Copies of this chain bind each other. A is one copy, B any other.
Amino acid sequence: MIHRAALGMGIRRPLARLMSAAAEAQPLGFIGLGNMGGPMAKNLLKAGHEVVGFDVSRANLDSFQAAGGSAVESPLAVARRAKTVVTMLPAGSHVLQVYSGVDGLLAQGGADAGSLLIDCSTCEPAIGQEVARLASLQGATTVDAPVSGGTPAAEQATLTFMVGGPEVAVRQAEMILRHMGKKVIHCGDAGMGQAAKLCNNLVLGITMAGVCEGHALADRFGLDQKKLAEILNISSGRCWSSEVYNPCPGVMEGVPAARGYTGGFACDLMLKDLNLAANAAVVSKPKLGLPMGGLALQMYSQMSARGDGMKDFSGLYPHIAGEKKS
């Protein structure tokens, strides 16, 4: 509590902290301080909150501490210090581990009736529902709040959160999430934040592949690519992937296609989300076939297998149209 006491003395106390009663009363917890979680936790610190953090990586913890965070040794230790805890983890298996492991958030002496646990990881809606159930056994409340927007949005606090959970908990979580993002969308009960994200990214993965094929066909027809984009964007082919994030080089400035498909939303992350969607469809009742989603998954898999998994997902375009030999 030394860190809190020091801040409490009013030295270098930021304005935002003065304005936030919650920040005075309670430190926040943050688990998973990597590429996304690291900058998100730093935005909570910038907003004047005391933040108690944990990560399995020593380097991530060091960076967090250098920014003013307090490092502890386990998720349980975070839950002991903080009533509101944000988690940002690579996959559902890590979420289950961090929540219900032996030194997890829900272990004895950890989260209780006063706790709000906000999971920003992307995973199956069923995981969000399971941790909600486990937490409720101890009276704790959870919301699932996966994000859209990549590392730059995490750094600039412009993420969008799709949130599932009880109305009151979502409103409470929103006060924290607003420090890390611009939009907070309440999607329904537990798991519905995850559901909304997976459905959106399923549509996105398919439409991006569709726009890539449209531009590839235009290439063969000899149709001007800027002209095609202009036509799509005032016609029924209009979509975010054509209008905001066009995958064809030479059509737009400031998008990954204009800089060799660096930055942006990695192919491997799209692949992860399409795989979650496909797996969810297989185990759903009644079962669901996703032919387009399944094919898109295989196309991004091929792109990754050819060595472009870290490139932006719009880099599918040259894989379809054929690389220009220069």
Contacts and interface: CB of A to CB of B under 8 A. Distances in A.
Interface of A: 125, 148, 160, 162, 183, 185, 187-188, 191-192, 195-196, 198-204, 206-207, 209-211, 213-224, 227-228, 231-232, 234-242, 244-245, 277, 280-281, 284-286, 288-293, 295-296, 299, 320-322
Contacts of A291: 209, 213, 295, 299, 320
A213 B202 contact: yes
11 contacts: A196-B218, A199-B228, A209-B292, A220-B285, A220-B288, A221-B284, A236-B244, A239-B240, A288-B320, A290-B320, A295-B295
Contacts of A148: 235-236
Contact of A292 (B238, B244, B295): B295
A126 to B, nearest CB: 9
Given A188-B223, A222-B195, A280-B217, A235 B290 contact: no
A281 B220 CA distance: 8
A285 B222 CA distance: 11
Nearest to A214: B203
A206 B215 CA distance: 13
Contacts of A211: 203
